[in-house]
Structure 1
């Protein structure tokens, strides 16, 4: 009779499973599409040209043709601790998704116990006449299985939600990498700009020393005033002090670069150069922009995947309104000795549990409302990220265009200031002008030359920001698909130290043994590493 009843229950459960396992309560998700600004789709300055296609994927900095910058960027990608930590965060998010998905499978457990028991001979109500045993053994082993049929796709939606968040983690890794690469390039450009400014100070200091000698000679010949000597000396010492301040700023930039490439600042040095313009050349990004900008930005991909996860959370909240069903089975053998092979020693239990909360004081409705609100919040955040992407590109276009124009204009100012400096000094040496005119001309020439270097530096840094705004050659096609998110298989018991590869995020991140070893070598970036002992 019991067997017949259980058969009917099993038939009902099987029918429900067949009918309801495809009952997905999450809303149908589509990535929002936004209308591009006027001129974006093939008209005006925002044409359908593809400047980002000229960027080598993953190595956009090679556009600058600087071997030292290439080497630093490679070291950053291999050894930067913040980047390696971002890769590990992605692995952890994959593991959370695997933990959630594991609930779709039956959960099996096994157990065994063995005991030898003795009762007290002085216990209450013990009758010594009936020879009641005081020693007894108990041996048992058992197995248990539980399974939660995912009738309402609550588990599947939770799993997809976590996998969407893991995809967002992969995009976050790409965003972290791009941000660090751009920061390193910007710091390197700043350092080279300081080098060029130091070269300007060196030239000016030599000129100012000559001016001091001339004023002293004129004073010695009684054709110049001591005031001229004081003014010339003040100009010289002020320039030397400014140079010392700039040298301190250079060391700070150098230390920042060392930390980014995982090197000890005290043992790190980059040899200076004299001309930032000769070092970087002229880098121009086309004015046209791709209509696929939103597919090239890691931050947009992060926001979009978070929005997809929020849509799945709505399905989870909806499933809470339906019965929660769990099927369980337990069985095993138990005996006072070791005779466990007999069916008479067996025990088992099969159960089906269905729970439907009848009154929760609005808890489930509030959770559903919160899920919808969180989804709308993610939509708003995605829209803000998209608008920010357009702003970044517009800012980059404005800066690169106008800074290039500023650079050309400032170069003309330098040529005029140097001519004025030469003429006023010649007039002063010939006794046809006072030294104040020469002093003003010298100050103007130094200021103009420094401004020219700063304009060149801003031009290159603006190019770095524009390339970053374009995604640095990245594409959302590099994101791992849903199927590759699982870090391990359900029956995998080996190779658990690192997750399976997924997308472009490195596994095991510590890439020792690569061609850019050693990670903490004492190295100046003019040749091979110095001979150094490493722990």
Structure 2
């Protein structure tokens, strides 16, 4: 009867031990995390600039810049996404953050190592205490040993799991940071390109006005030659002409500087980059009208908000890591193998092994652990404050962009009427002066007013278009937190995967969020500063030539 009870008791004891081990292992000391709820102001109900609009009703997703219907802008945005060096660096930063998460998670598994030792040794006849008469030690000896070792740290207090989860949250934040940088660069490129086309329109205004001013100079000279005009009129007309030529040169310099900035964004040397100017006063973009999101959906569509929220989630895991330091740390190790003074390991007597369990509990650390825990809580509160600040900044950016798009559009319409009135005044005063019914000062003032009004009108249209880019960026450019990799998608490889370790890594091993950039980084030796990218197919863009040198043709998300 006792013989039957013994196995039952042993099984019961083993089951109880295993259950206790699982319960203790599942102890998570991190505080329970919940995404904070932000209370929206009453103005969001329709009284303020942002009103309740349907999510994604007007804001484009994906290639949002295509709403402006400019082929050259579309090609430059594609090239920026594939080759911009800052974006490439952000993609690699995400890859590093993801690998750090896997390094932390690897500690959950037993660490196994193996070793082998083979040696042939000869003793010196002149060694200490050796005597030929009394010593019979071997002058030659061999040694052979094979061993293996395994160690495992049971994660009783979730120290390893919280560390791993914290790194995964930071990797998610890095993915959101990549999306934020990509959106910022794309918006910067679109804004700079619109500004450059604004310079083209202003240059067209100057070209038109300069032709008019040259005619005015000729008229004043003719009147002076016929003794019906004063030399003062000629001087005033010439001053007006050369002042306009100087302003035109200054504007050309500003356009070239803007062109250089665009070339750097698309990863091309400025000397090998040129955008053919347009000669029309009219901007080559479609009029874009965008309604904002609901406040609740805005928080899900901003990469910077998602990044701040993931950093906040990581900080809660850091608290769990700091708490685990107050509890004992257990380590199980096992080692064994065979060793022989010759080359014969067939006997079990040559075997050796070691099994050990180690528990370490710091008794006194001088306040080190409590200071670390207090610092972890302070870091968490810092991320909460930063999150609130990012959300408030997001609201401000949307409100600013909405105010600008609405008021700049209003300014544009009003300034157009001012241009019509100024052009009529310019024509009438010049006709009166030519007919000798008015002095040239009236004509001069009218010319200056007409030029100023036309420049302001172009500036208002440029500002309104750039404000729409700012509004799209402020609302996330169609990005959502669902585009951010989930926690379970962070691990780049499995614990037993030893393939695909070459560089560059295969595209299928790259996260979707950074796949396009990583695919473009395969040619480590390519010279991207002169590589063909835009306009190399020979097709002429509707709004300008891309890729031509000035001197010679250029060669070709989510939550836990």
Q: If the length of structure 1 is used for normalisation, what is the TM-score?
A: 0.93
- Is residue 79–residue 519 contact of structure 1 (8 Å, CA) maintained in 2? no
Who is 2:128 aligned against?
124
Who is 1:420 aligned against?
425
Partner Cα distance (1:276, 1:415) in 2 = 14
Once the 2 structures are TM-superposed, how far is the Cα of residue 509 of structure 1 from its aligned partner? 1.6
Who is 1:113 aligned against?
117
Once the 2 structures are TM-superposed, how far is the Cα of residue 336 of structure 1 from its aligned partner? 1.2
Partner Cα distance (2:137, 2:347) in 1 = 26
Matched, 1:367 2:372: yes
Once the 2 structures are TM-superposed, how far is the Cα of residue 474 of structure 1 from its aligned partner? 0.4
Summarize deviations over 1:140-166 as a string: whole Å, max 9, x none: 111111110000000000000000000
Summarize deviations over 1:17-40 as a string: whole Å, max 9, x none: 222111000000000001111142
SS in 2 for 1:223: coil
- Is residue 204–residue 279 contact of structure 2 (8 Å, CA) maintained in 1? yes
Matched, 1:504 2:513: yes
Who is 2:228 aligned against?
223
Change over 3 Å in CA distance of 1:533–1:198 after alignment to 2: closer
Who is 2:3 aligned against?
none
- Is residue 142–residue 343 contact of structure 2 (8 Å, CA) maintained in 1? no
Who is 2:362 aligned against?
357
Who is 2:33 aligned against?
29
1:188 to 193, 198, 203: 193
Once the 2 structures are TM-superposed, how far is the Cα of residue 519 of structure 1 from its aligned partner? 7.2
Partner Cα distance (1:462, 1:249) in 2 = 20
Once the 2 structures are TM-superposed, how far is the Cα of residue 278 of structure 1 from its aligned partner? 4.5
Once the 2 structures are TM-superposed, how far is the Cα of residue 350 of structure 1 from its aligned partner? 0.6
Summarize deviations over 1:98-139 as a string: whole Å, max 9, x none: 000000000011111111222221222213234221221111
SS in 2 for 1:314: helix
Larger deviation, residues 274-283 vs 233-242? 274-283
Matched, 1:390 2:401: no
Matched, 1:157 2:162: yes
Q: What stretches of structure 2 of length at least 5 have no aligned partner?
A: 1-10, 536-540
Who is 2:82 aligned against?
78
Q: How many residues are matched?
A: 527
Larger deviation, residues 317-326 vs 423-432? 423-432
Once the 2 structures are TM-superposed, how far is the Cα of residue 215 of structure 1 from its aligned partner? 0.4
Once the 2 structures are TM-superposed, how far is the Cα of residue 533 of structure 1 from its aligned partner? 4.8
Change over 3 Å in CA distance of 1:247–1:49 after alignment to 2: same
Who is 1:448 aligned against?
453
Who is 2:237 aligned against?
232
SS in 1 for 2:44: coil
Once the 2 structures are TM-superposed, how far is the Cα of residue 371 of structure 1 from its aligned partner? 0.4
Larger deviation, residues 276-285 vs 334-343? 276-285
Once the 2 structures are TM-superposed, how far is the Cα of residue 477 of structure 1 from its aligned partner? 0.7
Who is 2:5 aligned against?
none
- Is residue 268–residue 522 contact of structure 1 (8 Å, CA) maintained in 2? no
Matched, 1:520 2:524: no
SS in 2 for 1:18: helix
- Is residue 479–residue 503 contact of structure 1 (8 Å, CA) maintained in 2? no
Who is 1:312 aligned against?
317
Once the 2 structures are TM-superposed, how far is the Cα of residue 315 of structure 1 from its aligned partner? 0.3
SS in 1 for 2:355: strand
Partner Cα distance (1:8, 1:332) in 2 = 33
SS in 2 for 1:158: helix
SS in 2 for 1:432: coil
Summarize deviations over 1:457-486 as a string: whole Å, max 9, x none: 000011110111011000001111111100
Matched, 1:254 2:259: yes
Partner Cα distance (1:92, 1:513) in 2 = 17
Once the 2 structures are TM-superposed, how far is the Cα of residue 343 of structure 1 from its aligned partner? 0.7
Partner Cα distance (2:292, 2:354) in 1 = 73
Once the 2 structures are TM-superposed, how far is the Cα of residue 249 of structure 1 from its aligned partner? 1.1
Matched, 1:434 2:459: no
SS in 2 for 1:509: helix
1:480 to 482, 485, 497: 485
2:54 to 33, 50, 57: 50
Mapping 1:190-339, distance limit 5 Å? 190-275=195-280, 277-286=282-291, 289=294, 291-339=296-344
Change over 3 Å in CA distance of 1:507–1:91 after alignment to 2: farther
Who is 1:4 aligned against?
none
Partner Cα distance (1:169, 1:485) in 2 = 11
Partner Cα distance (1:505, 1:61) in 2 = 19
Partner Cα distance (1:197, 1:254) in 2 = 15
Change over 3 Å in CA distance of 1:507–1:158 after alignment to 2: farther
Partner Cα distance (2:143, 2:169) in 1 = 50
Who is 1:90 aligned against?
94
Partner Cα distance (1:11, 1:355) in 2 = 26
Who is 2:351 aligned against?
346
Who is 2:7 aligned against?
none
Once the 2 structures are TM-superposed, how far is the Cα of residue 279 of structure 1 from its aligned partner? 1.3
Summarize deviations over 1:74-107 as a string: whole Å, max 9, x none: 1111111111111111011000000000000000
Summarize deviations over 1:387-410 as a string: whole Å, max 9, x none: 001001110111111111111111
SS in 2 for 1:359: coil
Measured on the aligned residues, the alpha-carbon RMSD in Å equals 2.5
Summarize deviations over 1:423-480 as a string: whole Å, max 9, x none: 1111111111111111111111111110110000000011110111011000001111
Who is 1:3 aligned against?
none
- Is residue 87–residue 517 contact of structure 2 (8 Å, CA) maintained in 1? no
